[in-house]
Amino acid sequence: MKNDLSSILAVILLFATVGISVLTGITVYNWIDPDSLGGGLLFMGAWALCSYAGYLLLSRLIGLIHKEN
């Protein structure tokens, strides 16, 4: 039973990480709207920071779910 739960959490984590990357990229692009080199660099940095925050929250959430079972 424990291995089944771990497998399900791994698949959820896989899809969630891709979703976080795509959604934060779209959101930050619309937020910054880069039109120059400086805007592009700002977009890349903001995308990296927002993605990192999303990954951190997701890993903490998965850790809490995994510890409960």
Give the confidence band of 4 by pLDDT, cuts at 50, 70, 90. confident
Give the pLDDT confidence of 37-57 residue by residue, as tens digits: 999 999 999 999 999 999 999
Average pLDDT of the residues of the chain: 88
Give the pLDDT confidence of 55-67 residue by residue, as tens digits: 999 889 878 877 7
Q: Is the pLDDT of residue 1 over 70?
A: no
Q: Which amino acid is at 6?
A: S
Closest CA to 57 of 25, 29, 19: 19
Q: pTM for this one?
A: 0.77
Helix, strand, coil percentages in the chain from 3-state DSSP, rounded to 5:
90, 0, 10
How many CB atoms are closer than 10 A to CB 59? 13
Residues in the chain: 69
Q: Distance between CA atoms of 47 and 33, rounded to whole angstroms?
A: 12
